[in-house]
């Protein structure tokens, strides 16, 4: 039996040798770079690549006990060869030697079989649920824990300038690991970061969404070892890790674009054709096929070629990479970028492959769409339609744009203002599990919440009180808890550095040095809400009941058999009175409550000031 230290050493060494190995003067890479013993997914398709050889008529063999070669595939590009292998249940870990016979030359390629992560003693693939609180950050803009990796020789982008909103700033995974205590003080249970895989592009590499190697962790973030350290550190604290993954497109300098196995690995057009971004072309019963094709197969930009997910080899590559990522780095859940632009049938199969291997795994997609019905189409829903998605949940964009933002910014009318929030939530009947949706106030693509609310602290406090108490899985965006501002025109202004993440920063949110009294107060407010939520059964596991808003007063309850929490949002310009009798369906048997922020005891009648939200745990 391998001890943990031996396993870690084996993993690091295997990651190091699996990318490139030379034999007889020829360099060969394998994707996936390795696999694991005792996996349910024991039929693996290995893509071998050489940059100087010719695999057009190559054959492959191995004498490794338990490894059976089931198929061999050649491509129009002679640099590639695909081999289907089946790994028997009793196969032992070790280095599998494949002999590739090409034009009279025998090339030896080592392919490691590693022990499963389950032997390392930490939980993983746990999924997420409404008991979690997600903290979302951009590693390059959060904290620089290791300045030595700010620039890496050989990578195309050598820019480094914190004064530019579009250039790398030097944040990394060690910087994130250094500040796990900060997350815990916020009540955070789960970390989500923008993609951490290699982005060897000429510029705009700070965001991570243009992968150039799905099996390599970005060296400027610290590489594989830093990612493993972060994952292990989170799990040892009982926290979780979400990986941001992109199936829809590659970066233009991805080797599968620059040196593709075949032309049909990315969608080809006579000339550059961009998606029109309108998801209606997918489900509209009257849609034209050309509109659907352009929506799904059109490119995002010239720098992000659209992956052809209809190609079975591409599907296998993406699916195996997702499973490999979970097993290698201990991923608990996936956030899928640009989900609505993917081939949805392929995504159903990929999602199911993950679930078959990891029954608790959770996947939610970025579905920035128009309307609750459109949003529900892409996830597990109650529609009786030919297409049925198996995606667990979505990022709830519609609840943000047609719910909380108009509730706090717009005038209260018959159908406007806070009524929009009530109405949007009333359409939860379309989802199978609405509490799985990830709710949020801002992210890296949109104006920060404090700026969206006109830099009104009372409104921003209301927004966070709602975020921590509404149904769903709440997600915070880094720095907004200390009133960071920014308008997303362009997006770099909402991706500024977290204060205190770099040596010499005059303002430090980790220590509160140099922060204003308002910033400190707001941070403490969010910490209080987050830590209360973490231990509240009603907020993390309970049901929700909402009442029709009246004169800008919106009341809803979160409750279970052990606890009832009253949430009162006054969006009016005047003070409003509240009486328990009006809400007897939920308040019956309760005499009052305790305001969780102020600690003040409340009776069964009280007034709530204008533009204020109170969260009250009821008492009998």
Cite the active site residues. Answer: 337, 366
Residue whose token pair is 């009253």:
566
Strand partners, 565: 558, 617
- Cα separation, 332 vs 334, in Å, equals 7
End-to-end CA distance of the chain: 56
Closest CA to 370 of 472, 276, 278: 278
Q: How many CB atoms lie within 10 A of CB 488?
A: 18
DSSP state of 188: -
Beta carbons of 55 and 37 less than 8 angstroms apart: no
Q: How many CB atoms lie within 10 A of CB 238?
A: 11
Here the tokens at position 117 are 């992560």
Beta carbons of 475 and 187 less than 8 angstroms apart: no
Query: Regarding beta strands 67-74 and 43-50, do their DSSP bridges make them parallel or antiparallel, or are they unpaired?
Result: unpaired
- Cα separation, 553 vs 548, in Å, equals 9
Rounded to a whole number, what is the largest CA-CA distance in the chain?
89
Here the tokens at position 9 are 């050493």
- Cα separation, 497 vs 487, in Å, equals 15
Taking the C-alpha atoms of 61, 66, 70 and 75 in order, what is their torsion angle to the nearest 10 degrees?
A: -50
Long-range Cβ contact pairs of 453-460 (< 8 A, separation 24 or more): 453/405, 453/408, 453/409, 454/409, 455/485, 456/611, 457/483, 457/518, 457/522, 458/611, 458/612, 459/408, 459/409, 459/611, 460/522
Q: How would you classify residue 199: left for phi > 0, otherwise alpha for psi between -120 and 50, otherwise beta?
A: beta
Report the side by side order of strands in the sheet with 333-336.
Answer: 393-394, 362-365, 333-336, 240-245, 190-193, 134-137, 473-477, 438-440
SS3 content of the chain, % helix, strand, coil (to 5): 30, 25, 45
- Cα separation, 161 vs 497, in Å, equals 12
Beta carbons of 266 and 308 less than 8 angstroms apart: yes
Phi, psi (deg, nearest 5) at residue 378: -85, -5
3-state SS class at 527 = helix
Here the tokens at position 602 are 């409340």
């Amino acid at each position: 039996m391998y001890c943990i230290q031996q396993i870690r050493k084996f993993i690091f060494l295997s990651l190091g040798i699996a990318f490139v190995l030379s034999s007889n003067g020829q360099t060969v890479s394998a994707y996936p770079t390795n696999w694991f013993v005792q996996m349910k997914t024991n039929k693996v398709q290995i893509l071998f690549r050489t940059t100087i050889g010719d695999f057009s008529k190559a054959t492959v063999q191995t004498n490794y006990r338990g490894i059976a070669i089931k198929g061999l595939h050649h491509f129009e590009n002679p640099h590639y060869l695909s081999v289907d292998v089946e790994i028997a249940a009793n196969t032992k870990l070790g280095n599998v030697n494949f002999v590739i016979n090409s034009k009279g030359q025998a090339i030896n390629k080592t392919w490691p079989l590693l022990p499963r992560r389950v032997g390392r003693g930490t939980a993983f693939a746990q999924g997420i649920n409404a008991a979690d609180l997600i903290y979302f950050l951009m590693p390059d803009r959060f904290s620089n824990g290791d300045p030595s990796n700010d620039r890496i020789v050989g990578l195309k982008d050598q820019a480094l300038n914190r004064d530019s909103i579009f250039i790398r700033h030097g944040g990394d995974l060690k910087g994130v690991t250094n500040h796990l205590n900060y997350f815990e003080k916020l009540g955070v249970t789960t970390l989500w970061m923008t993609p951490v895989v290699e982005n060897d592009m000429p510029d705009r590499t700070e965001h991570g969404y243009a992968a150039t190697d799905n099996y390599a962790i970005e060296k400027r973030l610290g590489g594989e070892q830093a990612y493993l350290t972060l994952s292990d550190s989170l799990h040892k604290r009982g926290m979780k890790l979400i990986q941001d993954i992109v199936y829809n497109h590659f970066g233009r300098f991805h080797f599968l674009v620059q040196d593709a196995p075949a032309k049909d690995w990315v969608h080809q057009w006579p000339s550059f054709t961009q998606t029109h971004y309108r998801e209606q072309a997918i489900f509209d019963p009257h849609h034209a096929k050309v509109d659907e094709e352009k929506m799904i197969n059109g490119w995002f930009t010239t720098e992000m070629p659209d992956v052809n997910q209809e190609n079975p080899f591409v599907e296998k590559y993406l699916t195996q990479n997702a499973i490999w990522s979970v097993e290698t780095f201990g991923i608990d859940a996936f956030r899928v970028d640009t989900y609505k632009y993917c081939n949805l049938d392929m995504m159903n199969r990929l999602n199911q492959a993950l679930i078959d291997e990891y029954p608790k795994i959770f996947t939610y997609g970025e579905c920035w769409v128009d309307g609750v019905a459109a949003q529900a189409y892409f996830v597990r829903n109650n529609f009786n339609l030919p297409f049925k998605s198996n995606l667990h949940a979505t990022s709830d964009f519609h609840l943000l744009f047609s719910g909380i933002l108009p509730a706090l910014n717009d005038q209260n009318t018959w159908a406007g203002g806070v009524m929009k929030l009530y109405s949007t939530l009333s359409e939860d009947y379309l989802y199978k599990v609405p509490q799985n949706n990830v709710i949020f106030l801002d992210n890296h693509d949109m104006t920060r919440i404090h700026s969206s609310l006109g830099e009104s602290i009372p409104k921003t406090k209301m927004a966070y009180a709602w975020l921590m108490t509404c149904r769903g899985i709440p997600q915070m965006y880094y720095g907004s808890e200390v009133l960071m501002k920014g308008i997303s025109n362009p997006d770099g202004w909402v991706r500024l550095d977290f204060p205190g993440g770099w040596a010499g920063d005059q303002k430090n949110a980790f220590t509160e040095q140099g922060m204003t009294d308002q910033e400190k107060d707001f941070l403490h407010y969010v910490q209080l809400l987050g830590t209360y939520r973490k231990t509240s059964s009603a907020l993390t596991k309970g049901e929700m009941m909402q009442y029709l808003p009246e004169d800008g007063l919106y009341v809803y309850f979160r409750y279970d058999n052990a606890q009832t929490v009253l949430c009162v949002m006054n969006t009016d310009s005047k003070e409003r009175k509240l009486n328990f009798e009006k809400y007897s369906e939920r308040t019956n048997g309760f005499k009052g409550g305790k305001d969780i922020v102020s600690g003040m005891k409340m009776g069964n009648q009280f007034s709530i000031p204008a533009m204020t939200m109170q969260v009250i745990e009821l008492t009998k």
